[in-house]
Amino acid sequence: MGVYPSRDVETETRCFVRTLVEPIPGESRVAGKPAVVASASSDSDEVSAIEAACTGSGAVLRAASDLGHAARIAGESESAACLVVCRKSADSAIVPELAALRESGFQRPMLVVAERADAETVIACISATGVVFLIGPDAIRRLPSQIRAAHKKDAEQRQKAALSEGARNSIRKLTPREHDVLGLMLRGSCNKQIAAELGLSVKTVETHRSRVLHKLGVDSIAEFAHLLLAMLT
Protein backbone atom coordinates (compact mmCIF):
# COMPACT_ATOMS: atom_id res chain seq x y z
CA MET A 1 0.00 0.00 0.00
CA GLY A 2 1.35 3.44 -0.90
CA VAL A 3 2.11 6.01 1.74
CA TYR A 4 0.21 9.27 1.85
CA PRO A 5 1.96 12.11 -0.03
CA SER A 6 4.10 14.61 1.82
CA ARG A 7 2.67 17.90 3.08
CA ASP A 8 4.63 19.82 0.42
CA VAL A 9 3.10 17.76 -2.37
CA GLU A 10 -0.37 18.12 -0.83
CA THR A 11 0.02 21.89 -0.55
CA GLU A 12 1.33 22.31 -4.09
CA THR A 13 -1.44 20.14 -5.51
CA ARG A 14 -4.16 22.02 -3.60
CA CYS A 15 -2.74 25.37 -4.77
CA PHE A 16 -2.58 24.10 -8.34
CA VAL A 17 -6.16 22.84 -8.31
CA ARG A 18 -7.40 26.01 -6.58
CA THR A 19 -5.87 28.08 -9.39
CA LEU A 20 -7.87 26.11 -11.92
CA VAL A 21 -11.21 26.13 -10.17
CA GLU A 22 -11.33 29.84 -9.35
CA PRO A 23 -13.79 31.45 -11.79
CA ILE A 24 -12.63 33.67 -14.60
CA PRO A 25 -15.32 36.03 -15.93
CA GLY A 26 -16.64 35.98 -19.46
CA GLU A 27 -17.39 33.44 -22.17
CA SER A 28 -15.94 32.57 -25.55
CA ARG A 29 -17.09 34.59 -28.51
CA VAL A 30 -19.87 33.02 -30.57
CA ALA A 31 -18.99 32.77 -34.26
CA GLY A 32 -21.34 34.43 -36.71
CA LYS A 33 -22.84 36.86 -34.21
CA PRO A 34 -21.85 40.54 -34.35
CA ALA A 35 -20.15 42.17 -31.40
CA VAL A 36 -22.39 44.29 -29.20
CA VAL A 37 -22.11 47.84 -27.92
CA ALA A 38 -24.51 48.67 -25.09
CA SER A 39 -25.24 52.28 -24.18
CA ALA A 40 -27.86 54.18 -22.21
CA SER A 41 -27.41 57.60 -23.80
CA SER A 42 -30.61 59.60 -24.25
CA ASP A 43 -28.98 62.33 -26.34
CA SER A 44 -29.93 61.86 -30.00
CA ASP A 45 -26.62 63.25 -31.26
CA GLU A 46 -24.68 60.88 -29.00
CA VAL A 47 -26.79 57.93 -30.10
CA SER A 48 -26.19 58.79 -33.76
CA ALA A 49 -22.45 59.11 -33.14
CA ILE A 50 -22.31 55.78 -31.29
CA GLU A 51 -24.30 54.10 -34.08
CA ALA A 52 -21.81 55.44 -36.61
CA ALA A 53 -18.93 54.19 -34.46
CA CYS A 54 -20.57 50.77 -34.28
CA THR A 55 -20.91 50.68 -38.05
CA GLY A 56 -17.24 51.61 -38.37
CA SER A 57 -16.22 48.82 -36.02
CA GLY A 58 -18.56 46.12 -37.32
CA ALA A 59 -20.67 46.05 -34.16
CA VAL A 60 -24.34 46.59 -33.37
CA LEU A 61 -25.72 49.11 -30.88
CA ARG A 62 -28.13 47.93 -28.20
CA ALA A 63 -29.87 50.89 -26.58
CA ALA A 64 -30.78 50.73 -22.90
CA SER A 65 -33.00 52.69 -20.54
CA ASP A 66 -30.26 53.27 -17.96
CA LEU A 67 -26.68 52.33 -17.10
CA GLY A 68 -27.68 49.20 -15.19
CA HIS A 69 -29.83 48.03 -18.10
CA ALA A 70 -26.95 48.65 -20.53
CA ALA A 71 -24.63 46.59 -18.33
CA ARG A 72 -27.13 43.71 -18.30
CA ILE A 73 -27.38 43.81 -22.10
CA ALA A 74 -23.61 43.69 -22.48
CA GLY A 75 -23.19 41.12 -19.74
CA GLU A 76 -25.76 38.74 -21.22
CA SER A 77 -24.46 39.01 -24.78
CA GLU A 78 -23.33 35.70 -26.27
CA SER A 79 -20.81 37.50 -28.47
CA ALA A 80 -18.09 39.99 -27.58
CA ALA A 81 -19.51 43.13 -25.98
CA CYS A 82 -18.59 46.40 -24.34
CA LEU A 83 -20.34 49.20 -22.50
CA VAL A 84 -20.12 52.78 -23.77
CA VAL A 85 -20.88 55.64 -21.38
CA CYS A 86 -21.22 59.18 -22.75
CA ARG A 87 -20.93 62.29 -20.61
CA LYS A 88 -20.61 65.95 -21.51
CA SER A 89 -18.47 66.28 -18.42
CA ALA A 90 -17.22 63.27 -16.44
CA ASP A 91 -17.13 64.32 -12.80
CA SER A 92 -16.52 62.37 -9.60
CA ALA A 93 -20.09 61.02 -9.60
CA ILE A 94 -19.20 58.59 -12.38
CA VAL A 95 -16.66 56.74 -10.21
CA PRO A 96 -19.14 55.07 -7.81
CA GLU A 97 -21.55 54.40 -10.70
CA LEU A 98 -19.00 52.35 -12.63
CA ALA A 99 -17.43 50.86 -9.50
CA ALA A 100 -20.87 49.55 -8.51
CA LEU A 101 -21.11 47.73 -11.84
CA ARG A 102 -17.78 46.03 -11.25
CA GLU A 103 -18.79 45.10 -7.72
CA SER A 104 -21.97 43.53 -9.08
CA GLY A 105 -19.87 41.20 -11.25
CA PHE A 106 -19.90 43.07 -14.56
CA GLN A 107 -16.57 42.31 -16.26
CA ARG A 108 -17.02 43.48 -19.86
CA PRO A 109 -14.83 46.35 -21.11
CA MET A 110 -16.16 49.86 -20.46
CA LEU A 111 -15.50 53.01 -22.49
CA VAL A 112 -16.25 56.51 -21.23
CA VAL A 113 -16.58 59.24 -23.86
CA ALA A 114 -16.49 62.77 -22.41
CA GLU A 115 -15.81 66.24 -23.70
CA ARG A 116 -14.32 67.17 -20.33
CA ALA A 117 -12.97 65.25 -17.35
CA ASP A 118 -10.63 66.25 -14.55
CA ALA A 119 -7.48 64.24 -13.95
CA GLU A 120 -8.49 63.15 -10.44
CA THR A 121 -11.73 61.61 -11.70
CA VAL A 122 -10.00 59.83 -14.57
CA ILE A 123 -7.32 58.36 -12.30
CA ALA A 124 -9.83 57.27 -9.66
CA CYS A 125 -12.11 55.71 -12.25
CA ILE A 126 -9.36 53.82 -14.06
CA SER A 127 -7.98 52.57 -10.75
CA ALA A 128 -11.37 51.36 -9.54
CA THR A 129 -12.80 49.92 -12.76
CA GLY A 130 -10.18 49.63 -15.50
CA VAL A 131 -12.34 51.80 -17.75
CA VAL A 132 -10.90 53.41 -20.91
CA PHE A 133 -11.42 57.18 -21.23
CA LEU A 134 -11.80 59.09 -24.49
CA ILE A 135 -11.66 62.79 -23.65
CA GLY A 136 -12.02 65.93 -25.76
CA PRO A 137 -14.25 67.44 -28.45
CA ASP A 138 -13.07 64.81 -30.95
CA ALA A 139 -13.36 61.86 -28.54
CA ILE A 140 -16.35 60.37 -30.31
CA ARG A 141 -14.35 60.15 -33.55
CA ARG A 142 -11.84 57.89 -31.81
CA LEU A 143 -14.58 55.55 -30.63
CA PRO A 144 -14.54 53.00 -33.52
CA SER A 145 -10.93 51.94 -32.92
CA GLN A 146 -11.49 51.76 -29.17
CA ILE A 147 -14.64 49.65 -29.66
CA ARG A 148 -12.64 47.21 -31.80
CA ALA A 149 -9.93 47.06 -29.13
CA ALA A 150 -12.52 46.51 -26.40
CA HIS A 151 -14.18 43.69 -28.33
CA LYS A 152 -10.82 42.05 -29.00
CA LYS A 153 -10.03 42.18 -25.28
CA ASP A 154 -13.45 40.78 -24.40
CA ALA A 155 -13.13 37.94 -26.92
CA GLU A 156 -9.72 37.03 -25.48
CA GLN A 157 -11.14 37.02 -21.95
CA ARG A 158 -14.00 34.79 -23.06
CA GLN A 159 -11.63 32.41 -24.83
CA LYS A 160 -9.51 32.24 -21.69
CA ALA A 161 -12.64 31.54 -19.66
CA ALA A 162 -13.59 28.71 -22.00
CA LEU A 163 -10.13 27.19 -21.55
CA SER A 164 -10.43 27.61 -17.82
CA GLU A 165 -13.83 25.92 -17.74
CA GLY A 166 -12.47 23.02 -19.77
CA ALA A 167 -9.54 22.68 -17.37
CA ARG A 168 -11.84 22.83 -14.33
CA ASN A 169 -14.07 20.11 -15.77
CA SER A 170 -11.04 17.97 -16.52
CA ILE A 171 -9.60 18.45 -13.03
CA ARG A 172 -12.92 17.45 -11.45
CA LYS A 173 -12.65 14.05 -13.16
CA LEU A 174 -9.39 13.21 -11.39
CA THR A 175 -9.27 11.03 -8.30
CA PRO A 176 -7.33 12.25 -5.23
CA ARG A 177 -4.39 10.01 -6.15
CA GLU A 178 -4.44 11.31 -9.73
CA HIS A 179 -4.32 14.85 -8.29
CA ASP A 180 -1.16 13.85 -6.44
CA VAL A 181 0.40 12.43 -9.58
CA LEU A 182 -0.57 15.48 -11.65
CA GLY A 183 1.01 17.84 -9.14
CA LEU A 184 4.30 15.95 -9.34
CA MET A 185 4.11 15.70 -13.12
CA LEU A 186 3.80 19.49 -13.30
CA ARG A 187 6.88 19.76 -11.08
CA GLY A 188 8.77 17.82 -13.75
CA SER A 189 9.13 14.63 -11.74
CA CYS A 190 9.75 11.43 -13.69
CA ASN A 191 7.85 8.21 -13.02
CA LYS A 192 10.54 6.85 -10.68
CA GLN A 193 10.57 10.07 -8.66
CA ILE A 194 6.76 10.11 -8.43
CA ALA A 195 6.78 6.46 -7.37
CA ALA A 196 9.31 7.19 -4.62
CA GLU A 197 7.44 10.31 -3.45
CA LEU A 198 4.06 8.59 -3.24
CA GLY A 199 5.24 5.12 -2.22
CA LEU A 200 3.88 3.49 -5.37
CA SER A 201 5.34 1.13 -7.94
CA VAL A 202 6.56 2.60 -11.21
CA LYS A 203 3.98 0.54 -13.07
CA THR A 204 1.18 2.01 -10.92
CA VAL A 205 2.49 5.52 -11.58
CA GLU A 206 2.54 4.82 -15.32
CA THR A 207 -1.10 3.76 -15.10
CA HIS A 208 -2.04 6.91 -13.14
CA ARG A 209 -0.12 9.11 -15.59
CA SER A 210 -1.92 7.57 -18.55
CA ARG A 211 -5.30 8.08 -16.90
CA VAL A 212 -4.47 11.68 -15.95
CA LEU A 213 -3.53 12.59 -19.52
CA HIS A 214 -6.63 10.86 -20.87
CA LYS A 215 -8.95 12.71 -18.48
CA LEU A 216 -7.25 16.04 -19.24
CA GLY A 217 -7.66 15.38 -22.96
CA VAL A 218 -4.00 15.95 -23.80
CA ASP A 219 -1.17 13.82 -25.14
CA SER A 220 1.49 15.11 -22.77
CA ILE A 221 1.90 17.11 -19.59
CA ALA A 222 3.72 19.75 -21.67
CA GLU A 223 0.55 20.23 -23.72
CA PHE A 224 -1.51 20.70 -20.56
CA ALA A 225 1.05 23.14 -19.15
CA HIS A 226 0.79 25.11 -22.40
CA LEU A 227 -2.99 25.35 -21.95
CA LEU A 228 -2.50 26.56 -18.39
CA LEU A 229 -0.07 29.20 -19.58
CA ALA A 230 -2.57 30.38 -22.20
CA MET A 231 -5.19 30.78 -19.46
CA LEU A 232 -2.95 32.67 -17.07
CA THR A 233 -1.30 35.12 -19.52
Q: Would you state the pLDDT for residue 129?
A: 93
pLDDT tens-digit readout, 156-196: 888 777 767 777 778 888 899 998 998 898 888 999 999 99
* Segments of the chain with pLDDT less than 70: 1-32, 163, 229-233
Grouping H, G, I as helix, E, B as strand and the rest as coil, residue 138 is: coil
Q: Which CATH class is domain 35-158?
A: alpha beta
Inter-residue long-range contacts of 125-134, CB under 8 Å, 24+ positions, other chains counted: 125/90, 125/94, 125/95, 125/98, 128/95, 128/98, 128/99, 128/102, 129/95, 129/98, 129/99, 129/101, 129/102, 130/102, 131/85, 131/98, 133/90
pLDDT of residue 120: 92
Domain layout of the chain by residue ranges: 7-24+173-232, 35-158
Q: What's the predicted TM-score (pTM) here?
A: 0.62
CATH for the stretch 7-24+173-232: 1.10.10.10
Mean model confidence pLDDT for the chain:
82
Residue 3: the pLDDT is: 40
Q: pLDDT at position 146, please?
A: 93
Question: Do the first three CATH levels of 7-24+173-232 and 35-158 match, i.e. the same topology?
Answer: no
> How high is the pLDDT of residue 231?
57
So what's the pLDDT on residue 116? Answer: 92
pLDDT at position 233: 56
